[in-house]
Structure formats: structure tokens, C-alpha cells
Amino acid sequence: MGCFASKNGDTKASRTARWRSTGIVALRDSKLKTFPDEVLELDRSVRTLDLTHNRIVDIPVEISKLINVQRLVLAENLIERLPMNLGKLQSLKLMNLDGNRITFLPDELGQLVRLERLSVSGNSLTFLPTTIGSLRNLVLLNVSNNKLQSLPESVGSCFSLEELQANDNVIEDLPSSVCNLSHLKSLCLDNNNVKLIPLNLLKDCKALQNISLHGNPISMDQFQRMEGFQEFEARRKKKFDKQIESNVMIGSKGLDVGVDL
């Protein structure tokens, strides 16, 4: 841990007073190599903490003092592991750990029951903890650009999940439990080794509007023969029709069916 040198000449007292007043600590691009002690001293006052694009390696166990933090953004650092007491951050709704060196997520992740958005893209994860299924309020899960070979069966218990991004891994198949994700709207699995997806995926995931499987060995023919394909296609087209009506531009190739031909 260490101290932070202000860029604009703020005294420590005035800076701390501002952070305590607003609940927002923003220290992006501050050349930090260690987690700032003065942030930990704020304990219950911090609601948003953004330490993006520094050179922090370790997250101290004392981070558990920040029991009211709702948004924790630690993207683009050099973090290799997370503290085991991470689960004490019971107010956390958003956690962004993109672009670090994390090799595993602790089981205690499942204790973050209020978490709505979790992004850990661009790390070195080879698996996800089974406790991820305890995140019943999770709406977005982004695990792209890792080394995942599979997703745990328990992911099907993330009943609020609307968007699942797992591009650029080495995933070979999906657990059948993803069919339980009745609120899932977008499933992105580009550049994996997926040969098959659960047979009932399109039938059971009635909210699904987008599925992207580019760069996988699954064929368009396989996809079109799945039960529920026509209903999925109707939802997808309805979504794009709404975007056209809202003057949202579509690429020159037209509507993307999400599977390489």
C-alpha cells in the first residue's frame, strides 16, 4: 500500500474531504503502484472507486473496510489475484477487472449477492468458480479474452442474466443450464471452439435476440435446424427493425445472423 501524490497540488486534507463528501474516488492514470492508504482510511464513505490504468499489483485485504462501495473499477492494472475476503463488499453492484493478470476468481465472489455487472475480460482465467451461480442479480457477465475451456453448470442459476460475453476463449461447449436463463438477450461466443450449443437454447431462452458464434466450428445449417430458430429469428429482426426506426445505422453487410457460413 502507499500514498497518492496529487497532480494538481491538492492537500491531502482537501482531497480527502472532497472524496468523503462525494463518495467518489477517481484516480485513473495516476501512476499508482500500490493501493492508496488514504482511500482505505475513508472506509464507509466510498461509494465509487476508480483506479483504472495504474500499475497496481496487489489488492490489500483491508479493502473489506469499503463496505458501502457500489462501483469498483480496477481495469488496466497488473493485478494477479483478488483477496479472499472480497465477499465482504456486500454493497457492490459493479466490478470491472478488465485487462489485468488474474488467473482465478475466489469462491467468495459468490457472496457478492447484489452484484449486477461483472467484467473480467482480458485476464488469464482458465475456469470460473461454481459459486458464480449465487449471483442472482447479475445482469451482465463479460469473461471475454481469457483462457476458459468451459463455463460452469452453475451459470444457469444467474437467473437475471441478460448479457453473456465470452468471446476469444477456448470454450468447446456450453452447459445445458444456460437454457434456464429466461432473461438472456445477448450471447456472444466469437472465436472459441464451440461445435454444438444446447438443443433447447433457442426454444427456452425466449428473450434471446442476439447470438454471435463467429470463428467457431458450428455451421449455419446446424443453427437453423434447432428448435425455436424461427421464433428467435423473428425476435432478432424485430430488434433490428426498432433500431432502424430509431435511425441506428446497420453495417454494410446487413443483418448479422451471428454464425459464419
Instruction: State the average pLDDT for the chain.
Output: 91
What integer pLDDT is reported at residue 3 of this predicted model? 54
Q: What is the mean pLDDT of residues 50-57?
A: 98
Q: How confident is the model at residue 256 (pLDDT cuts 50, 70, 90)?
A: low
Instruction: Give 110-156 pLDDT, tens digit per residue.
Output: 999 999 999 999 999 999 999 999 999 999 999 999 999 999 999 99
What integer pLDDT is reported at residue 260 of this predicted model? 52
- According to DSSP, the residues that pair with 41 across neighbouring strands are none
- Whether 38 has a pLDDT exceeding 80, the answer reads yes
What integer pLDDT is reported at residue 194 of this predicted model? 95
Q: How confident is the model at residue 258 (pLDDT cuts 50, 70, 90)?
A: low
Percent of the chain with pLDDT over 70: 90
Contacts of 104 (CB under 8 A, 6+ apart): 81, 125, 126, 127, 129
Q: Name the amino acid, one letter, at 259.
A: V
Residue 24: phi and psi, rounded to 5, are: -115, 120
* Separation of alpha carbons 7 and 18, rounded Å: 15
Contacts of 221 (CB under 8 A, 6+ apart): none
Contact yes or no for 105/129 (Cβ under 8 A): yes
Q: What is the mean pLDDT of residues 217-234?
A: 91
Q: What is the mean pLDDT of residues 240-245?
A: 72
* Separation of alpha carbons 91 and 143, rounded Å: 22
Q: How confident is the model at residue 97 (pLDDT cuts 50, 70, 90)?
A: very high
Contact yes or no for 92/113 (Cβ under 8 A): no
3-state helix, strand, coil in the chain (%, to 5): 30, 10, 60
The label of the residue with cell 468451459 reads 150
Identify which has the larger pLDDT, 231 or 244: 231
- According to DSSP, the residues that pair with 165 across neighbouring strands are 142, 188
